[in-house]
Amino acid sequence: MNRIEGRVKVTGLATYAAEYPVEGLVHAFPVQSQIAKGRIRQVDAAQALAMPGVLAVLSSEDPPELAAAASGELALFQSREVAYRGQLVAAVVADTLDNARAAAAAVRVGYDPDDHDVSLRADHPGLYKPDTVNPGLPTDTEKGDVEAGLAAAATVVEVTYATPVLHNNPMEPHAAIACWDDEGRLLVYDTAQGTTWSRDILARVLGLPADRVRVVSRHVGGGFGSKGTPRPQAVLAALAARAVGRPVKAVLTRQQMFDVTGYRTPTIQRLRLGADAEGRLTALEHVAYEQSSTLEEFAEQTATPTRIMYATPALRTAHRLVRLDVATPSWMRAPGEAPGMYALESAMDELAYAAGMDPIELRVVNEPDTEPHSGLPYSSRDLVGCLREGARRFEWERRDPAPGVRRDGEWLVGTGVAASTYPARRRPSRARAVRREDGDYLVQVAAADIGTGARTALTTIAAGALGVDPDQVHVELGDSDLPAAPVAGGSMGTASWGSAVVRACEELKSDGREGVADTTEEIEGDAQFARHAFGAQFAEVRVSSVTGEVRVSRLLGVFAAGHIIDPQLARSQFIGGMTMGMGMALMEETLTDEEFGGFLRRDLAQYHVPACADVRDVEAVWLDERDVELNPMGSKGIGEIGIVGTAAAIGNAVFHATGHRLRELPITPAKILMSRF
Amino acid sequence: MKTFDYARADSAAEAVRDHAPGTMYLGGGTNLVDLMRLGVAEPDRLVDVSRLPLDRIEQAGDRVRIGATVRNSDLAADPGIRARYPMLARAVLTGASGQVRNVATVAGNLLQRTRCAYFQDVTRPCNKRRPGSGCPAIAGDHTNLAIMGASEACVATHPSDMAVALTALGAEVHVTGTGGDRVIPMPGLHRLPGDEPERDTVLEPGELIVAVELPPPPPGAMVYRKVRERASFAFALVSIAAALDVGADGTVAGCRIALGGLAHVPWRAERAEQALLGGPATGEAFLRAAEAELEQASPLPRNAYKVPLTRNLIVSTLEGLAS
Amino acid sequence: MEITLQVNGKARTVDVDPRISLLDLLRERLGLIGAKKGCDHGQCGACTVLLDGRRALSCLALAVAVEGRAVTTVEGLASGDDLHPLQAAFIEHDAFQCGYCTPGQLCSAAGMLDEPGPSAVTEDLRTDPGLTPDEIRERMSGNLCRCGAYVNIVSAISEVAR
């Protein structure tokens, strides 16, 4: 089925957050900190207030009222302490965007700066062990004796991998329009990956009961995690609207998005792998070093995929965090799995070479019977099937493993493989289904369609549950007034919302008029299983021996991700994730400014995401799984697994092409040239 | 963006007359509007010269005169340019995107400013933007910045592709100003930063580019190649415009090499050209020539890769032209 | 300043601040939200419109500087209820996900189809290979898509180009 909202999207009628026609709207534009640490001495708004069209200046000089519960990145203008360069320290409200922006440049902020520390290092004295890592997982795990396993190994690989700061960069900037009504009820059009959670957090920050806040996000121009919780623009719009008594629009610039809407933490990852003469792992250790801000603890689960991938008698994983004078990292597509599997799957390739084994066979001999760290059975796992199917399609048996020997003119050619995985979870959700007077069916759930095709997938699911034609089903989502639902995130959206939609439709079928569902109890009763999707990524690259340029001539992903609800949407999701993985492998990198704090390369001309010319032969296929333990659809989430393993597959292919192992992303011409020529 | 007055000029003479301190000329706007929104450019007054009747490409004897407001796309699509100056057409086509090339003018392309991150961020120091404030790029991010001809005040690079080809071709820039008309050869329009990095070119205040004139193409084969980690829509890490004429005896009869992404100016590789003239057209000679040129390089830690990159690029490009 | 321009075939006269971009004029003043603001600096292509029939970035155009010109936005591509072939092909090929870059992709593709080739991706600029996938990819590289729909965008445009 083609996307239900396809027509409004191609005709320019789909309404994104900044685009609602609201009468009397004015504009807010933020002022950002120019120091990385210290205190605000004074905010001088006199000149700005005298400029044309200016209605108000908000700052910590006169902190707008927020709930005591407001903290961290959303506690705007409450404190005079500066936590990072780029933090919002004031904002101008004016009649037009141009006037607001010009006046924001005229706000004078005086600071008492302190020395800052913005550099992640594996030997940083501030490293500590957080209580848990996201989402509430153990920080460290240990099973068996890693040192003994390494000592007994026939082959040992000890390597350190590093990944840079990465930014989600959805095409739609973070934006909000806030309107207060006469009864003090707040309506926010926001760029939210989940309106229920967004409403709850905004209500908490503003000190309002949740039923006095409504968040609407009918169309969201991508998020990839960065719109998973409210970002400062939503709070800013609400505060500004309250201050001037008019609806306010706050849209972040692309540059501001780099500063205040989250990013993927940089990582340093140390891995130690030992294998016996047959390639069976004798020990596996993965330690991740990463950063958070002084405002909030965000502990990415980087080493957690290593807990579930391969059989080994000795397994240790650990995370260490340091709080720096930086913005708070946040979710970015496959948090944990994307950087963690880059390191693990690159190290597995190194182990295969060190042991003289085919990298696919190495993975096959280390296939576990149960989840290695927990001992739980898998609800389903078909990594081997994915590897085998990919090998067949990629003609892997014809591959000469020798690195650095294939040439096409100046271009060195190589291929690589990596495994992929992502948890298959679901969260409690509500939904409502009713028979309309015209005989069609209305399905309501506060889900979000951030480009995943949620409207379309839920229509398919509801039509299937009701046993009717999809044309007769109308799905409403993107509004916190609808039945409460979790965010589009963690590859849990469709599984969570779909479960509730199926149950509501089942009840409607027996009731005849209406069905309402809440899956909280159902999910609490789920049996104990290790639930994950798996996949195999194959890459072919060409590396210029003259320039060090790397071009990806072919990418293939094979996934085992439960029952695929909509093949067209699924293929798009997988390929989209793989394309982002290509960016991670070869070009994406935000630099931290050691001297002044904050980030450098804060725009799309400097932070490169793949362009059309980079994406040539990219294909995704899947092995349909029947997994009855997951949810009524038998589905696993597919939004994130596409990015997992891609960078490793490309990095492994670069090694195969050139004979040089580059262990810091992105793999740029500079690094290739300095290592090789 | 600071507020400004806007006026549209009907002729180059009127535009020049209309120029006063604080005035800037607006061409296609693809760089100037960008810089104004960043607060980097803060004109009091814009004189729009984008509709001046300078939008023609004309043959003048054995030379080609390209009007200042010819759009980049139209220059690259011109059959005469494609046939006789393919390096120029290709250089233009590798720049920016189709949308930008449709609007950007030839004069504006020459006068676009560096994309150094510090220059574009008004909250950080930059000698080019705020003379005397310092150059944090030298100790900070200079990955894409200059290895040739830089100064302690500035390591910015000129971002244009087109200008690199024009430098190799020996184009002439025709300008008009209150002091009259003059012709500036390329190389020669752009200047090295020295201790005045705020000045990108030798143009005087109020001078307006009206045309670029191409001499007849040099004999032999010519090419433009641009290196970048993203396959398109990215500035060059390094680029090369080269022409090579190999005589019947196998020696180099003529040679033009210009390099982009290396310096504050499109860099004419005169030392390499001198080293090659009259010598054999062999890989060994090309390598010696590249190394002669790169003796002038003074790379910083993060852009040292540009030395082997430039060397490889010169050698490989000349080998391609020679075969 | 008062300016008049043709927007999707209709003359529109507006009094504008000289600072306002064509993009903001369309979105904030004329109620045309099709052209999208993705970066506001000419780095993403989401704001692409047709200016006198040629694709251009509305974020880098001052409204005052396009006075008198004809602007076509994505809202002006269809003829009544009949979608432009590119719009129909984008739906059929699932050539978008979040949809935010889509109006820019469509206007860019519509302009690109009429542009002379070849592009920098073709070895000999005096030949014309037509709209091969390589040519489409290069010519459409000014329109970023973070969802990564490029594979489907190229197949949609290829279908229309045939």
Contact across the interface for B82 and C125, Cβ inside 8 Å: yes
Tokens 């623009």 belong to A233
What's domain A132-166+264-424+529-676's architecture?
A: 2-Layer Sandwich (3.30)
Distances, alpha carbon A172 to alpha carbons A486, A607, A618, B98, C48, in Å: 21, 16, 24, 22, 14
Question: Would you give the end-to-end CA distance of chain A in angstroms?
Answer: 51
Strand pairing category for A281-293 and A315-324: parallel
Domain-by-domain residue ranges, chain B? 5-48, 226-322
What CATH number has the domain spanning B226-322? 3.30.390.50
Structure tokens at A119: 């550099």
Residues 160-179 of A with CB under 8 A from C: 169-173
B70 contact A CB<8A: no
Distance between CA atoms of residues A566 and A568, nearest Å: 6
Q: Is B83 helix (H, G, I), strand (E, B) or coil?
A: helix
Chains near A (3 or more Cβ pairs under 8 Å): B, C
Chains near B (3 or more Cβ pairs under 8 Å): A, C
pLDDT tens-digit series, residues A13-67: 999 999 999 999 999 999 999 999 999 999 999 999 999 999 999 999 999 999 9
Q: What is the C-alpha radius of gyration for chain A, rounded to an integer number of angstroms? A: 25
Compare all CA atoms of chain C with the CA of B4 and give the residue at the minimum distance: C18
Answer yes or no: CATH 3.30.365.10 is held by domain A430-518.
Answer: yes
- In order of start, what are the domains of chain C with their CATH numbers? 2-76 (3.10.20.30), 85-161 (1.10.150.120)
pLDDT tens-digit series, residues A173-206: 999 999 999 999 999 999 999 999 999 999 999 9
In the sheet with A141-143, reading across from the earlier edge strand, the strands are A141-143, A315-324, A281-293, A267-275, A155-163
Contact across the interface for B100 and C119, Cβ inside 8 Å: no
Question: Would you give the end-to-end CA distance of chain C in angstroms?
Answer: 45
Calculate mean pLDDT across residues A399-406: 97
Contact across the interface for A604 and C147, Cβ inside 8 Å: no
Contact across the interface for C98 and A612, Cβ inside 8 Å: no
Question: Would you say residue A7 has pLDDT above 90?
Answer: yes
Residues of C in contact with A251 (CB under 8 A): 37
Mean pLDDT score across all residues of chain A: 97
Distance between CA atoms of residues B242 and B322, nearest Å: 11
Exposure of A343 in the CB half-sphere (CA atoms within 13 A): 32
pLDDT tens-digit series, residues A213-237: 999 999 999 999 999 999 999 999 9
Question: Which member of C90, C98, C140 has the closest CB to residue A451?
Answer: C98
Compare all CA atoms of chain B with the CA of C112 and give the residue at the minimum distance: B98
Residues 15-54 of B with CB under 8 A from A: 39
Contact across the interface for C115 and B50, Cβ inside 8 Å: no
B248 contact A CB<8A: no
Distance between CA atoms of residues A101 and B120, nearest Å: 17
Distance between CA atoms of residues B28 and A585, nearest Å: 35
Contact across the interface for B99 and C125, Cβ inside 8 Å: no
Contact across the interface for A610 and B230, Cβ inside 8 Å: yes
Compare all CA atoms of chain B with the CA of C55 and give the residue at the minimum distance: B99
Extended strands (E) in A103-144: 108-113, 132-133, 137-138, 141-143
Exposure of A94 in the CB half-sphere (CA atoms within 13 A): 21
Q: How many CB atoms lie within 10 A of CB B118?
A: 31
DSSP type of residue A479: B
Residues of C in contact with A21 (CB under 8 A): 31
A671 contacts A662 by C-beta, under 8 angstroms: yes
B262 contacts B148 by C-beta, under 8 angstroms: yes
Secondary structure (H, E, C), A287-349: EEEEEEECCCCCCCCCCCCHHHHCCCCCEEEEEEEEEECCCCCCCCCCCCHHHHHHHHHHHHH
Mutation for testing the C interface, residue in B81, B97, B113 having most C CBs under 10 Å: B97
CA angle A453, A459, A463 (to 5 degrees): 150
Give the residue numbers in C contacting B (CB under 8 Å), as ranges. Answer: 1, 17-19, 21, 40-42, 45, 48, 51, 54-57, 60-62, 64-65, 108, 111-112, 115-116, 119-121, 125-126, 137-144
Burial A243-253 (b: 16+ CB within 10 A, else e): bbebbbbbbbb
Residues of B in contact with C63 (CB under 8 A): none
pLDDT tens-digit series, residues A576-621: 999 999 999 999 999 999 999 999 999 999 999 999 999 999 999 9
Distance between CA atoms of residues A402 and A415, nearest Å: 11
Question: Would you say residue A533 has pLDDT above 80?
Answer: yes
Question: Which member of C42, C64, C120 has the closest CB to residue B6?
Answer: C64
Distance between CA atoms of residues A670 and A548, nearest Å: 7
Kindly list the averaged pLDDT for each block of 10 residues, start to end, along chain B of length 323.
95 96 98 98 98 96 97 97 97 98 98 98 98 98 98 98 98 96 98 98 97 97 98 98 96 98 98 98 98 98 98 98 95
Question: Which member of B28, B38, B97 has the closest CB to residue C142?
Answer: B97
Residues 88-147 of B with CB under 8 A from A: 115, 117, 120-121, 123-124, 136, 139-141, 143
Q: Distance, in angstroms, between B28 CA and closest chain A CA? A: 19
C23 contacts C35 by C-beta, under 8 angstroms: yes
Options 3.30.565.10, 3.30.365.10, 3.30.530.20, 3.40.50.410; which CATH number does A18-115+169-260 get? 3.30.365.10
Exposure of A190 in the CB half-sphere (CA atoms within 13 A): 34
B6 contact A CB<8A: no
Burial A557-574 (b: 16+ CB within 10 A, else e): bbbbbbbbbbebbbbbbb
Question: Would you say residue A676 has pLDDT above 80?
Answer: no
pLDDT tens-digit series, residues A145-155: 999 999 999 99
Distance between CA atoms of residues A77 and A64, nearest Å: 7
Domain-by-domain residue ranges, chain A? 18-115+169-260, 132-166+264-424+529-676, 430-518
Single-letter amino acid, residue C88: A
C93 contact A CB<8A: no
pTM above 0.80, yes or no: yes
Helix locations, A402-526, DSSP H:
454-466, 493-511, 520-524
Question: Which member of A594, A614, A668 has the closest CB to residue B140?
Answer: A594
Q: What is the C-alpha radius of gyration for chain B, rounded to an integer number of angstroms? A: 19
Same fold, A18-115+169-260 and A430-518: yes
CA angle A605, A607, A613 (to 5 degrees): 70
Single-letter amino acid, residue A375: G
Q: With the C-alpha atoms ordered B141, B146, B148, B154, is the resulting torsion angle positive or negative? A: negative
C115 contacts B73 by C-beta, under 8 angstroms: yes
Question: Would you say residue A677 has pLDDT above 50?
Answer: no
Distance between CA atoms of residues C40 and A97, nearest Å: 13
Mutation for testing the B interface, residue in A600, A609, A671, A675 having most B CBs under 10 Å: A600
Q: Is B268 helix (H, G, I), strand (E, B) or coil?
A: strand
User: Does residue A666 have a cis bond before it (omega within 30 degrees)?
Assistant: yes
Give catalytic residue positions of A.
640
Compare all CA atoms of chain A with the CA of B240 and give the residue at the minimum distance: A547
pLDDT tens-digit series, residues C119-155: 999 999 999 999 999 999 999 999 999 999 999 999 9
Largest CA distance in chain B: 64
What CATH number has the domain spanning B5-48? 3.30.43.10
C162 contact A CB<8A: no
Mutation for testing the C interface, residue in A3, A95, A171, A332 having most C CBs under 10 Å: A171
Contact across the interface for B123 and A594, Cβ inside 8 Å: no
Contact across the interface for A673 and B309, Cβ inside 8 Å: yes
Chain B, chain C: beta-carbon pairs less than 8 Å apart? 101
Structure tokens at C42: 């000419």
Distances, alpha carbon B113 to alpha carbons B41, B162, B201, B229, in Å: 11, 13, 10, 21
